[in-house]
Amino acid sequence: MPYCPQCFIEYLEGTAQCEDCGGDLVPGSPPEAPPPIEIGDAKDMKLVSVRVFSGGTAQMDADLARNILRAQGIPCVLPGETSAKLLPVLDVPLLVREEDAERAARVLEEYLDTDTTAGTEEADSI
């Protein structure tokens, strides 16, 4: 079954593009987990919140965003992810190093905030 190399989501045979990010799917199964990225010595590092997820899908959305950033080589952490599993209404912040915050925000905006249905709706109305 094909999967998205950016989001690590598996799709049914015959699907060509990822429904979340629009990327081309590759054959096979996704890896068990994205390769770990070391954050380094945390003493002198400042972590900032790049996005906060909330509601019933907060943990799933935060996991997807974390996988996207890791695939782009941006180290990130999800503090409180165990709390969100117990109470899905809690906020789940996605933290990155301060020096990665601007790039991480752009990457997440590109993948998560792009309206992929606009092109298909326009094509349907023609």
Residues paired with residue 110 on neighbouring β-strands, in sequence order:
none
Domains of the chain by start residue, with CATH: 1-33 (no CATH), 47-113 (3.30.70)
List per-block mean pLDDT (blocks of 10 residues) for the chain, which spans 126 residues: 80 85 84 58 77 87 90 84 54 90 94 67 54
Q: Which helix (H) or strand (E) holds 10?
A: none
In 13-80, which ranges are continuous DSSP H helix? 58-71
Q: Which helix (H) or strand (E) holds 125?
A: helix 117-125
pLDDT of residue 49: 92
For the chain, how are helix, strand and coil distributed in percent, rounded to 5? 35, 15, 50
User: pTM score, two decimals?
Assistant: 0.57
